[in-house]
Amino acid sequence: MSLLQEHGPDAMVVAGGTDLFPNMKRRQFEPRVLVGLRGVRELGGIRGSAREGMTLGALATLTQVSLHPEILTHYPALARAADLVSTPQLRNMGTIGGNVCLDTRCNYYNQSYAWRKAIGFCMKKDGDICLVAPGSPRCVAVSSSDTAPVLWSLGARVRLVGPDGERVIPLPALYRDDGIQYLAKAPEEIVAEIALPPVDGLRATYWKLRRRGSFDFPVLGVAVALRREGEVCREARIVLGAVASQPREAVEAERLLAGERLTPELIDRVAEVAARPSKPLDNTDLVYYYRKRMTRVYVARALRELAGLPVGDWPTAMAGRNHANDEEAR
Amino acid sequence: MRELLTPRVNGDDVQVLAPVHKTLLEVLREELGLTGTKHGCELGECGTCTVLLDGEPVLSCLLLPVECQGREILTVEGMAQAGRLHPLQQSFAELGAAQCGYCTPGILLAAKALLEHNPRPSREAIRVALAGNLCRCTGYTKILDAVELAAARQGR
């Protein structure tokens, strides 16, 4: 903490390093001081249970999250999202805290220094304008975390620790829809842990769209969480990833579900409404109108999965390790 | 700024004075002469710099050695024991599961970690475990065959 305060904007924290080091090599980040968190024991570990809620230390690796028995059994959407991040090597290094704070991404930003220089730099680093939408007053780089939409849908809270003490905020309050200032926390505050509420009947899933089934950032993520009494939905959350600079909750679509039965007709209507706040731009992999149209498709499939209705063929892009295990179990 | 690093590499306690900003990949290759670990993309995308850290595959291009103090690092040089190839190396050689060979060290180590967790992996489990290792020659089929062969031999 004192190092972060002393060096101010020259300092950055590093946990797994899987986001920070590539960005440093491309000179997207240019810290003069790195504060390594790996030695801070208090930030590690996964504790608790589905009955009383769980606490994920920020340094818990994505592998640990994806394989933790309690999470696999009771928060399977989170295990799946963590499992679908990147590659085995990077999941062994990358942390849940890091994935929640993942830098926003853009085709004009995640490039080498020489590339960015040749095109005149963008406002996120070294430039003045947004090269995706030159009239835009703000950066439109894309939130690309797989776990954040799921944690949002599960009602997670985040404990932040800073020089002036600590505070606990709902996970949605950690984000802002701005590609540069995408985290609503002070730079010297760190995410210390993430708290999951008790499961209490909440069932969730996560669907990820990406180009390659082996590994890729999401170009669309759909997290859906439902709490039902019998056949009737009591509570619904639909959170879209990779469609804005922060995860985006499809509030209007959620309202359609309240007090209703999950029929195929309702699912189609909800999916259509859920796709409205999905406004991808032409700054990630795959064309943006396809990503927009797939929002409807993936919301419908996620809801069908939770309703126990057939979802069609599982896309190869969902072939993570957990899913591979499912295949073997069948 | 240089720092005294004391990782355990391939079973030996190593002491090396290296600049703190060098990655584990650079220290292994340039300070310790262990050039079996390859430089690829250097951005965490290709997997050819894979080493095992306490038995788990990680990317040495994105690790600082100061964070590996006292931990066990295994590189491809540490796979053969007493002049005998590791079963995976043997099966890769027999089946020709290497074309240019540049991705091979990383794949051998990722496969070794897999077989330690799961001695009889399905084809799909092998694919998933090797998802982070790119082969630009695209010789994946023989690579998967070779891991299966090594697993079958170990199972005997």
Instruction: Catalogue all structural domains in chain A, each as residue range(s) with its CATH number.
Output: 40-196 (3.30.465.10), 202-329 (3.30.390.50)
Distance in angstroms (rounded) separating the CA atoms of residues B22 and B31: 10
Q: Is the pLDDT of residue A319 over 80?
A: no
- CATH code, domain carrying B15: 3.10.20.30
Structure confidence at residue A320 as a pLDDT band (50, 70, 90)? low
Partners of B23 on chain A (C-beta within 8 Å) are: 21
Three-state DSSP class for residue B136:
coil
Residue A316's pLDDT is 65
State whether B46 and B8 are in the same domain.
yes
State whether B93 and B137 are in the same domain.
yes
Q: How close does chain B come to A237, measured CA to CA in Å?
A: 30
pLDDT tens, position by position, A180-207: 999 999 999 999 999 999 999 999 999 9
Q: Chain A window 28-67: which residues touch B at a Cβ cutoff of 8 Å?
A: 36, 38, 63
Calculate ∠ Cα A237-A185-A190, nearest 5°.
100
Mean pLDDT of chain A: 94
pLDDT tens, position by position, A134-188: 999 999 999 999 999 999 999 999 999 999 999 999 999 999 999 999 999 999 9
pLDDT tens, position by position, A226-254: 999 988 999 999 999 999 999 999 999 99
Q: How close does chain B come to A91, measured CA to CA in Å?
A: 9
Q: Is the pLDDT of residue A315 over 80?
A: no
DSSP state of B49: T
Partners of B42 on chain A (C-beta within 8 Å) are: 25
Three-state DSSP class for residue A177:
coil
Write the residue in A22, A321, A327 that is nearest to B44 by C-beta. A22
Write the residue in B61, B67, B131 that is nearest to A214 by C-beta. B131
Residue A324's pLDDT is 46
Q: Chain A window 60-99: which residues touch B at a Cβ cutoff of 8 Å?
A: 63, 86-90, 92-93
Residue A328's pLDDT is 41
Does residue B14 sit at the A interface (CB-CB below 8 Å)?
no
For residue B54, what is the nearest residue in chain A, using CA coordinates? A92
State whether B34 and B94 are in the same domain.
no
Mean pLDDT of the region A34-38:
93
Structure confidence at residue A2 as a pLDDT band (50, 70, 90)? confident
Residue ranges of chain B whose pLDDT lies below 70: 156
Q: Are A234 and A260 in contact (CB under 8 A)?
A: no
Q: Is the pLDDT of residue A321 over 90?
A: no
- Listed residues B24, B53, B78: the one ending a domain: B78
Distance in angstroms (rounded) separating the CA atoms of residues A170 and A158: 6
Distance in angstroms (rounded) separating the CA atoms of residues A74 and A94: 22
State whether B33 and B97 are in the same domain.
no
What total number of domains does chain B contain?
2
Calculate ∠ Cα A45-A51-A52, nearest 5°.
60
Q: Do A89 and B124 lie within an 8 Å CB cutoff? A: no
**First-last CA distance in chain B:** 51
Q: 3-state DSSP helix/strand/coil percent for chain B, to nearest 5?
A: 40, 15, 45
Q: Do B67 and A36 lie within an 8 Å CB cutoff? A: yes
Q: For residue A329, how many C-alpha atoms fall within 13 Å in the half-sphere facing its CB?
A: 6
Q: Are A316 and A213 in contact (CB under 8 A)?
A: yes
pLDDT tens, position by position, A259-297: 999 999 999 999 999 999 998 999 999 999 999 999 999
Between chain A and chain B, the number of residue pairs with CB atoms below 8 A apart is: 75
State whether B60 and B114 are in the same domain.
no
Mean pLDDT of the region A121-143:
96
State whether B73 and B91 are in the same domain.
no
- Listed residues B55, B78, B101: the one ending a domain: B78
- Global pTM exceeds 0.90: yes
- CATH code, domain carrying B123: 1.10.150.120
What is the percent of chain A with per-residue pLDDT over 70, rounded to a whole number? 96
> Which distant-in-sequence residues (6+ apart) come within 8 Å of A137 by Cβ?
none
State whether B97 and B72 are in the same domain.
no
DSSP state of A162: E
Q: Do A90 and B64 lie within an 8 Å CB cutoff? A: no
- Listed residues B78, B111, B143: the one ending a domain: B78
Write the residue in B23, B66, B128 that is nearest to A321 by C-beta. B128
ipTM confidence score: 0.96
Q: Do A87 and B124 lie within an 8 Å CB cutoff? A: no
Residue A326's pLDDT is 45
State whether B74 and B6 are in the same domain.
yes
> What domain range is B70 assigned to?
2-78
Q: Do B124 and A328 lie within an 8 Å CB cutoff? A: yes
State whether B68 and B115 are in the same domain.
no
Q: Is the pLDDT of residue A330 over 50?
A: no
State whether B128 and B149 are in the same domain.
yes
Does residue A328 sit at the B interface (CB-CB below 8 Å)?
yes
Structure confidence at residue A317 as a pLDDT band (50, 70, 90)? low
Residue A81's pLDDT is 98
Structure confidence at residue A314 as a pLDDT band (50, 70, 90)? confident
State whether B106 and B123 are in the same domain.
yes
Q: Is the pLDDT of residue A60 over 70?
A: yes
Write the residue in A63, A92, A328 that is nearest to B122 by C-beta. A328
State whether B72 and B93 are in the same domain.
no
